[in-house]
Chains A and B, each alone.
Chain A
Amino acid sequence: MPEIAELEQRLTELGERVSWPPTPDLTDGIMARLKAPMVIRRPWFQSRWAMAAAVVLLALAALLTYTPTREAIADWLNLHVIISRVSELPTPTTQPSGGLGTRLGLGYPTTLADAQAKVPWHIVVPSQLGPPDEVYIQLPPEGPPQGEVTLVYKSRSGIKTSGQTGVAVLITEASGTVDDRYFGKMIGPGSTLEEVTVKGRRGYWISGAPHTFFFTDADGQFRNETMRLASNVLIFQDGGTLIRIEGDLTKDQVLGIANSLS
Chain B
Amino acid sequence: MHPMEGRPTDGELVERAQRGDLAAYEEIVRRYQEVAFRTAYMITRSGPDAEDAVQEGFVKAYQALATFRTGAEPRPWLLRIVGNEARNRVRSAGRRLRFEMRLAEGFRPGDAAPSPEAAAIASEDRRRLLALVNGLSEEDRLVIASRYFLELSGEETAATLGIPEGTVKSRLSRALQRLRAQVEEGARA
Contact = CB atoms under 8 A, between A and B. Distances in A.
Contact of A222 (B47, B54, B84): B84
Interface stretch (A16-24, A148-156, A168-176, A202-210): A16-24
B22 interface: yes
Which applies to chain A's interface (DSSP): helix, strand, loop or mixed? mixed
Which applies to chain B's interface (DSSP): helix, strand, loop or mixed? helix
Contacts of B56: 41
Nearest to B162: A222
- Chain A contact-residue range equals 35 or more
Nearest to B71: A79
Interface in B144-177: 144, 147-151, 162-164, 167, 176-177
Given A4-B180, A8-B176, A81-B67, 17 more contacts: A2-B183, A11-B149, A14-B148, A14-B149, A19-B102, A23-B33, A26-B37, A26-B51, A27-B29, A27-B33, A34-B25, A80-B69, A141-B91, A186-B64, A216-B162, A220-B167, A223-B88
Interface in A133-150: 141
Contact of B58 (A21, A26, A35, A38): A26
Interface string B94-126: 100000011111001000000000000000011
Interface in A74-116: 74, 79-86
A212 to B, nearest CB: 10
Contacts of A20: 38, 41
A114 B93 CA distance: 29
